A = this chain, B = another copy of it.
Amino acid sequence: MQKAISQAVIKRLPRYYRYLGELMDEGIERISSSELSQRMKVTASQIRQDLNNFGGFGHQGYGYHVPTLYNEIGNLLGVNDHHNMIIIGAGNLGRALANYENFSKRGTSIIGVFDNDPSVIGSVTGKHQIKDIKGVEAFVKEHGVDIAAICIPKSAAGEVAKNLAGLGVRAFWNFSHMDLELPEEYIVENVHLSESLMQISYMIQDQDKKREKDK
Q: How far is the CA of A99 from the CA of B193 in the complex (A)?
A: 12
- CB atoms of B96 and A197 under 8 A apart: no
With A79-B198, A100-B193, A192-B14 already in contact, the answer to whether A187 and B203 are too (CB < 8 A) is: yes
Q: A99: nearest residue on chain B (CB-CB)?
A: B92
- Could you say which residues of chain B place their CB within 8 Å of the CB of A76? 202, 205
A145-156 vs B, CB cutoff 8 Å, 1 = contact: the mask equals 011000000000
A184-207 vs B, CB cutoff 8 Å, 1 = contact: the mask equals 010101011111111111111101
Q: How far is the CA of A11 from the CA of B196 in the complex (A)?
A: 8
- Could you say which residues of chain B place their CB within 8 Å of the CB of A179? 41
Q: Does A97 contact B (CB under 8 A)?
A: yes
Q: Does A91 contact B (CB under 8 A)?
A: yes
With A10-B199, A201-B106 already in contact, the answer to whether A97 and B171 are too (CB < 8 A) is: no
Q: Count the copies.
A: 2
- Could you say which residues of chain B place their CB within 8 Å of the CB of A201? 77-79, 81, 83, 106-108
Q: Does A141 contact B (CB under 8 A)?
A: no
- Could you say which residues of chain B place their CB within 8 Å of the CB of A194? 14, 100, 102-103, 106
- Could you say which residues of chain B place their CB within 8 Å of the CB of A103? 194, 197
Size category, A interface: 35 or more
Q: A172: nearest residue on chain B (CB-CB)?
A: B200
Q: How far is the CA of A149 from the CA of B30 in the complex (A)?
A: 35
- Could you say which residues of chain B place their CB within 8 Å of the CB of A189? 196-197, 199-200, 203
Q: A75: nearest residue on chain B (CB-CB)?
A: B205
Residue among B99, B173, B204 making CB contact with A196, cutoff 8 Å: B173
Q: Does A128 contact B (CB under 8 A)?
A: no
Residue among B91, B193, B202 making CB contact with A78, cutoff 8 Å: B202
Q: Does A24 contact B (CB under 8 A)?
A: no
- A residues lining the B interface (CB < 8 Å): 10-11, 13-15, 17-18, 41, 76-79, 81, 83, 91-93, 95-97, 99-100, 102-103, 106-108, 125, 146-147, 170-171, 173, 177, 179, 185, 187, 189, 191-205, 207
